[in-house]
Amino acid sequence: MATALIILGAGMGTRMNSDLPKVLHEIAGAPMLVHAMKSGAALDPEATVVVAGHGAALVEKAAKAYDPDVIMALQSEQLGTAHAVRQAQEALADFDGDTLVLYGDTPFIRSETLAAMAAARLTHDIVVLGFEAADPGRYGRLIVQDGQLDRIVEFKDASDDERSVSLCNSGVIAANASVLFDLISEVGNDNAAQEYYLTDIIGIARSRGLSATVVRCDEAETLGINARSELAQAEALFQQNARATAMDDGVTMTAPDTVFFAHDTVIGRDTVIEPNVVFGPGVTIESGATIRAFSHLEGCHVSRGGIVGPYARLRPGAELSENVKVGNFVEIKNAQVAEGAKVNHLSYIGDASIGARSNIGAGTITCNYDGVFKHRTDIGEDVFIGSNTMLVAPIRVGDAAMTGTGSIITRDVPGGDLAVGRARQENKPGFALRFFQKLKAKKAKGS
């Protein structure tokens, strides 16, 4: 059965106290909306519709950055969840299959849970995701009778008996698209909030003789984000799960609580991660690497046997081949470092390539920016770059060449050559003693 996703993301999120739409606040380096889209993507949907409202242009930009084929729908007035879902009807007018309604501010629903909902749809007309709440609070209650979901009651409209029920509504619903929109057409707003509740479709469906059931999940999966404190809790929950998964996959972390992952971090087994390492989006670490303390990595790839840090920064486009060493206070950006090469100390390598087994001395800088354009530095194999070398791009250093310490290199260096680009040293005998004697005498006179 074909599946379409409807992801609701129109809310302003007043409690976030932010100009940014609520669903664009980030967890693990990605907007909450993207987390929801990733969860739904496990069902291989034929179409994904994101319903936006507040900050719609920003929401669209984020959604399309993750999935260029996403369809946007606009909810110009926020009149309730049923009203929001109805905005997707036109986009799915020609769709024949099941729809799954997700929420852009509920980022942790697992793909296995959604698969269970899809399986339940084979035997029931409507499937609702529910959870047993430790503290039901103001959640809507799922009222089950004779093994069927009979109705969903919002807290504001629930009786005391209904409020005593601990099985709560996550808001996630699966149904055939035509059935869903037909049921929504009958939803009214005669309730305490005068909103069009999506949950009302259950009672309408049951009155028609349609079947409804509940798929249960862990309460943590349904965590919704409405305030900054909840955003912080969600980040902590993500990191806790990511660390546990990494260690289960064979990654060693000596102080796991100090390591922070992005939503898409990939780390191979037998990799060692020391304390206080931060992974931004787009990082892949192959097996057997070591990421040493206080390093920051984003948009990069570290191959097997690589050693990074301590206090290293790998920026987007950094590609490290096998057995590369990147040491303390080294920054690498948009550069390819070939097998066995070393950049061990206090260096910046940007817009560059470094050949196999080359050694980059301490304090080396690739001067890649002229104020308008970026330029490349290409360093061949088995090259020795002396400490404190400035390589003024565009420039090429050939295989087995070397540069003298403290050089400013402005021209290509042929393979096998030594390049020295510094002023000749001149010593002036006794000058330092005479100079300081003169200054001290001047100070003594008070002038």
Choose the catalytic residue: 35, 54, 301, 345.
345
| ω into 310 cis (within 30 of 0) | yes
- What is the C-alpha separation between 417 and 422, in angstroms, rounded? 16
- Reply yes or no on whether the pLDDT at 193 is more than 90: no
Mean pLDDT of 426-446: 93
HEC states along 356-377? CCCEECCCCEEECECCCCECCE
Mean pLDDT of 306-317: 98
Query: For residue 447, what pLDDT is reported?
Result: 58
Query: For residue 207, what pLDDT is reported?
Result: 92
Which tens digits make up the pLDDT trace of 90-129? Answer: 999 999 999 999 999 999 999 999 999 999 999 999 999 9
Q: State the amino acid at position 23 in one-letter form.
A: V
Q: Catalytic site residue 345?
A: yes
Q: β-strands 30-31, 26-27: how paired?
A: antiparallel
- What is the C-alpha separation between 79 and 69, in angstroms, rounded? 27
- What is the C-alpha separation between 83 and 273, in angstroms, rounded? 48
* pLDDT bracket for residue 45 (50, 70, 90): very high
Mean pLDDT of 37-58: 95
